Amino acid sequence: MRSSALFVKKRDILKPLVKLASVVCITLCAGLVSHFVGIAPHSLSVVSVCTFIAVICTTIFFWEYRVAAAFLGVAVLICTKAMTLHGMLKATELDIIFFLIGMMIIVGALKDLGFLTWVIQSIINRENMTGRAFCVILCLLAALLSSVVDEVSSIVVILALVFQVCETLKVRSAPFVIMAVVATNIGSASTMLGNPVGIFIGNKAGFTFSQFLVGATPVALSALLATILVFLLIFRKCIREINDRMAERRAQNRGLGPIVRIPHRRGLFVISATVLVIAFHHQIELLLGLTDAENKNALLIVTPIIVAGLLMACRPTRARYYVEHEVEWWTLIFFMMLFAIAGALEEQGVTQNMAMKLGAAVKGGAREMVPFVLGLSALGSAFVDNIVFVAAFTPVIQSLVERSAEYNVLWWALLFGACFGGNITVIGSTANIVALGLLEKREHTRIAFREWIKTGAIVGLVTSLIAWGMLMILQSPIPAHGKPAVLQIEQTDGPLHEHRMSPLPSDTSDL
Yes or no: say if 394 and 200 are a contact pair by the CB < 8 Å rule: yes
Report the pLDDT value the prediction gives residue 163, as an integer from 0 to 100. 86
> Residues 392, 394, 398, 401: is their CA dihedral positive or negative?
positive
Report the pLDDT value the prediction gives residue 12, as an integer from 0 to 100. 62
Q: Where are the alpha helices (DSSP H) in 235-297?
A: 236-251, 265-279, 281-288
pLDDT(423) > 80: yes
Yes or no: say if 466 and 219 are a contact pair by the CB < 8 Å rule: yes
Q: Of the candidates 176, 107, 187, which has an alpha carbon nearest to the alpha carbon of residue 141?
A: 187
CA pair distance 339, 322, nearest whole angstrom: 25
User: Quick one: pLDDT band at residue 445, thresholds 50, 70, 90?
Assistant: confident
Instruction: Tell me which DSSP letter residue 190 carries.
Output: S
CA pair distance 143, 152, nearest whole angstrom: 12
Report the pLDDT value the prediction gives residue 187, as an integer from 0 to 100. 93
Reported as a single tens digit per residue, the pLDDT across 153-211 is 788 888 888 888 888 888 888 899 999 999 999 999 998 888 888 888 988 888 888 88
Instruction: For Cα atoms 256, 262, 265, give the angle at the middle one, nearest 5 degrees.
Output: 130
Would you state the torsion angle of the CA atoms of residues 33, 37, 43, 49, taken in this order, to the nearest 10 degrees?
-50
Reported as a single tens digit per residue, the pLDDT across 283-331 is 888 888 887 777 777 888 899 999 999 999 999 999 999 999 888 888 8
Reported as a single tens digit per residue, the pLDDT across 98-138 is 988 998 898 888 888 888 778 777 777 777 778 888 899 99
Amino acid at 258: P
Per-residue b/e over 376-398, b at no fewer than 16 CB within 10 Å? bbbbbbbebbbbbbbbbbbbbbb
Instruction: Tell me which DSSP letter residue 324 carries.
Output: I
Report the pLDDT value the prediction gives residue 227, as an integer from 0 to 100. 96
Global pTM reads 0.76
Report the pLDDT value the prediction gives residue 261, as an integer from 0 to 100. 66
CA pair distance 304, 100, nearest whole angstrom: 8
Amino acid at 286: L
CA pair distance 363, 428, nearest whole angstrom: 31
Neighbour tally for 433: CB within 10 Å: 17
* CA distances from residue 433 to 98, 121, 177, 287, 414 in whole angstroms, order as listed: 24, 25, 12, 43, 22
Report the pLDDT value the prediction gives residue 204, as an integer from 0 to 100. 85
CA pair distance 384, 26, nearest whole angstrom: 16
Yes or no: say if 391 and 346 are a contact pair by the CB < 8 Å rule: no
User: Quick one: pLDDT band at residue 511, thresholds 50, 70, 90?
Assistant: very low
Backbone angles phi, psi at 19, to 5 degrees: -65, -45
Where is average pLDDT lowest: 36-45, 366-375, 383-392, 446-455?
383-392
Yes or no: say if 457 and 423 are a contact pair by the CB < 8 Å rule: no
Question: Best-predicted range by mean pLDDT among 92-101, 181-190, 236-245?
Answer: 181-190
CA pair distance 417, 379, nearest whole angstrom: 8
* CA distances from residue 484 to 351, 398, 504 in whole angstroms, order as listed: 18, 10, 9
| 490: β partners | 497
User: Quick one: pLDDT band at residue 490, thresholds 50, 70, 90?
Assistant: very low
Amino acid at 485: A
Reported as a single tens digit per residue, the pLDDT across 366-421 is 788 889 889 988 988 887 767 777 877 888 888 888 878 888 899 999 999 999 99
Instruction: Tell me which DSSP letter residue 502 carries.
Output: P
Q: What is the mean pLDDT of residues 488-499?
A: 38
Backbone angles phi, psi at 504, to 5 degrees: -75, 155
Yes or no: say if 413 and 134 are a contact pair by the CB < 8 Å rule: no
Write down how long the chain is. Answer: 511
Report the pLDDT value the prediction gives residue 507, as an integer from 0 to 100. 40
Average pLDDT, the chain: 82
pLDDT(486) > 50: no
